[in-house]
């Protein structure tokens, strides 16, 4: 029942948000003024790397959830179709929304008050200036709809949290999933309240940290599939999913994860910490975030030999 509801909601929830974004684009288009291109150099390169890590932290998140929402696909579904539609489903909205944000930033020359709204209230202030300002109460209503649209992102995350938590230990399967969902919701509500006054900074930090973990997770997943499973689904034994003796022991993954975290620490550039390698990119005071790249590289190097040893002595 829950699985079906999630799919139905996600199928249609994007439509009102897309309409609002087109309305917003129509309101800001008259004020978009192309200015000179930004500078180039180490500092700008560092900013691009940091921005890329934040985007990766959002887009790659699907890799940790995909199995939960493709389980009912036909067994004979071509893998290229799954890849193609997933790739488009992630990239089209990301690129369009990023382009809309870039367009909104070009309005500051013609609408200095919008620049002030952004400086004071970040992204929400800029959205409000383009909607509530010109359209009054109706624009405020559209802002409410946009704020509620986050539900579409939270539903898959929190639904998968319950499924993932029950994989920790057989005893965890005795805990009702609805209870896990309620606890998880309470936690992210508290975090949202605490970080509301610094939304953009908190979101950027969270997405960047997520990108480190997702780089490690995705690297292990890909190397396991293409190196040790030969890229063939027939080399998996789904009927043995609950037989720990016929599953990988996990030591290789754990060690690779730890070393990948070390790479992330060396390459991260956050307000509260700048890694040793990150300091050498751009302005040393801010650094350039390459934690995503280093965590991926460190993991990719150490996992294959560790997994080979594990498989040789454990058998799986």
Q: For residues 308 and 266, is the Cβ–Cβ distance under 8 A?
A: no
Q: How many whole angstroms separate alpha carbon 74 and alpha carbon 93?
A: 26
The pTM score is 0.84
Residues 311, 71: contact at Cβ < 8 Å?
Answer: no
The pLDDT tens digits along the chain (316 residues) read 678 888 899 889 999 999 999 999 999 999 988 777 777 777 777 778 778 877 877 788 888 888 888 888 888 888 899 889 999 998 999 999 999 999 999 998 888 999 999 988 888 889 999 998 888 889 999 999 998 888 888 898 899 999 899 888 888 889 999 999 999 999 988 888 887 777 777 777 777 888 899 999 999 999 999 999 998 888 998 888 888 888 999 999 999 999 999 999 999 888 788 899 988 887 778 788 889 889 999 999 999 999 999 999 998 8
**What's the rounded Cα separation, in Å, for the pair 254 and 150?**
33
302/279 Cα distance (integer angstroms): 25
CB 123 within 8 A of CB 31: no
295, burial (CB in 10 Å: exposed 0-12, middle 13-18, buried 19+):
buried
């Amino acid at each position: 029942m829950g699985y079906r509801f999630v799919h139905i909601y996600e199928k249609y929830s994007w439509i009102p948000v897309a309409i609002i974004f087109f309305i917003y684009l129509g309101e800001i288009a008259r004020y978009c003024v192309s200015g000179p291109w930004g500078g180039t150099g180490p500092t700008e390169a560092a900013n691009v790397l940091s921005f890329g890590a934040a985007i990766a932290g959002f887009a790659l998140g699907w890799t940790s959830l995909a199995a939960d929402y493709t389980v009912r696909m036909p067994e004979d579904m071509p893998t290229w179709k799954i890849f193609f539609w997933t790739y488009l489903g992630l990239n089209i909205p990301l690129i369009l929304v990023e382009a809309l944000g870039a367009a909104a930033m070009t309005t500051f020359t013609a609408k200095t008050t919008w620049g002030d709204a952004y400086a004071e209230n970040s992204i929400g202030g800029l959205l409000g200036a383009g909607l509530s300002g010109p359209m009054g109460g109706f624009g405020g209503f559209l802002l409410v709809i946009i704020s509620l649209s986050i539900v579409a992102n939270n539903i898959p995350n929190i639904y998968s949290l319950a499924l993932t938590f029950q994989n920790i230990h057989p005893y965890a399967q005795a805990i009702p999933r609805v209870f896990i969902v309620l606890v998880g919701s309470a936690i992210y509500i508290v975090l949202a309240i605490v970080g509301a006054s610094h939304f953009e900074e908190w979101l950027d930090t969270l997405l960047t940290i997520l990108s480190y973990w997702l780089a490690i997770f995705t690297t292990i997943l890909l190397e396991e599939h293409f190196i040790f499973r030969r890229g063939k689904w027939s080399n998996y034994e789904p009927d043995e999913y609950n037989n720990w003796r016929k599953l990988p022991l996990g030591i290789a993954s754990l060690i690779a994860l730890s070393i990948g975290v070390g790479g992330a620490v060396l390459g991260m550039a956050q307000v509260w910490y700048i890694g040793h390698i990150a300091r050498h990119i751009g302005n040393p005071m801010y650094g350039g975030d390459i934690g995503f790249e280093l965590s991926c590289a460190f993991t990719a190097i150490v996992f294959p030999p560790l997994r080979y040893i594990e498989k040789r002595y454990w058998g799986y």
